[in-house]
């Protein structure tokens, strides 16, 4: 089996009338072995608003308290995950949904008291993902992890960009692609960058040019790139952007 391709689908592009799921199915049918990772923050925010639960963010990460956690788990591991699975199946491939708690894939620790039940990955156990790949099934992994406890494991919300980088490194992915709703990373003048070195990316982070939800995305890219995984951020709103990914977006290269 060839090295897999990890595709992180941004919540802001979910549900749009695009070609993403057809591209994933085409890759699976051609033997490219994709793994899909997703969050679903926009959908979670809609459900929280309906329930009159406020959404708060710190450094691009959702503060997840006892009220927010059940909604996030239900939306990410349930509603959004199954929508993606159904869409890939309908496009001609076979997909199965998982969360990072299934098969104890994503072991975490609590990131900080201020964020509540937000996990920071400490280990990836990819056996369940590998089993699906070996069976020719596209794994669709939602951004829910677990923290080991004396009783039942504690479910935690984990940033999907971070999960994508960790999974890509753990499975020896040949490439990690982030689908988002921007053309790529932009410099201080607002121009999209075709490539970005480790040092330049860190300078943009330190200077505040990269802000908000792009911060954990670029940090995840840098982590994966440092572990030898080629990374690219592309605009998922463009038709067949996955199939044409090498000519689009921003490639992030490791240090040295």
Positions marked catalytic:
8, 11, 41, 161, 217
How far is C-alpha 37 from the chain's CA centre? 5
Which ranges of the chain does DSSP label H, i.e. alpha helix? Answer: 20-29, 41-50, 68-73, 81-90, 127-134, 160-171, 198-207, 214-226
To which residue do tokens 């939602």 refer?
142
Nearest to 206 by CA among 218, 192, 195, 194: 218
User: Two tokens at 60?
Assistant: 């691009």
Question: Alpha carbon of 246 to those of 9, 23, 77, 240: distances in Å?
Answer: 17, 14, 30, 12
Q: Can you tell me the distance from the alpha carbon of 216 to that of 88, in angstroms, rounded to the nearest whole number?
A: 27
* φ, ψ (nearest 5 deg) of residue 179: -95, 125
Return the SS3 of 94.
coil
Cα gap 88→214, rounded to integer Å: 26
- Residue 148: CB partners within 8 Å, gap ≥ 6? 107, 154
- b/e sequence 2-24, b meaning 16+ C-beta within 10 Å: eebbbbbbbbbbbeeebbbbbbb
């Amino acid at each position: 089996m060839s090295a897999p391709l990890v595709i992180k689908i941004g919540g802001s592009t979910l549900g749009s009338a695009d070609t993403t799921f057809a591209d994933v199915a085409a890759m699976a049918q051609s033997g490219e072995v994709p793994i899909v990772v997703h969050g679903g923050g926009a959908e979670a925010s809609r459900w929280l608003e309906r329930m009159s639960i406020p959404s708060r963010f710190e450094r691009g990460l959702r503060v997840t308290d006892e009220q927010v956690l059940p909604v996030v788990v239900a939306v990410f591991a349930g509603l959004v995950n199954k929508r993606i699975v159904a869409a890939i199946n309908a496009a001609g491939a076979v997909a199965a949904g998982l969360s990072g708690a299934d098969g104890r894939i994503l072991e975490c620790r609590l990131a900080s008291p201020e964020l509540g039940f937000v996990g920071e990955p400490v280990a990836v156990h990819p056996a369940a993902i590998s089993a699906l790949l070996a069976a020719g099934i596209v794994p669709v992994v939602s951004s829910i992890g677990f923290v080991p406890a004396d009783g039942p494991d504690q479910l935690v919300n984990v940033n999907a960009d971070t999960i994508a980088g960790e999974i890509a490194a753990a499975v020896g992915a040949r490439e990690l692609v982030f689908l988002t709703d921007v053309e790529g990373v932009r410099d201080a003048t607002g121009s999209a960058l075709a490539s970005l070195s480790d040092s330049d990316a860190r300078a943009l982070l330190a200077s505040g040019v990269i802000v908000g939800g792009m911060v954990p995305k670029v940090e995840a890219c840098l982590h994966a790139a440092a572990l030898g995984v080629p990374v690219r951020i592309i605009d998922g709103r463009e038709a067949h952007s996955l199939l044409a990914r090498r000519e689009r977006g921003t490639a992030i290269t490791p240090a040295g």
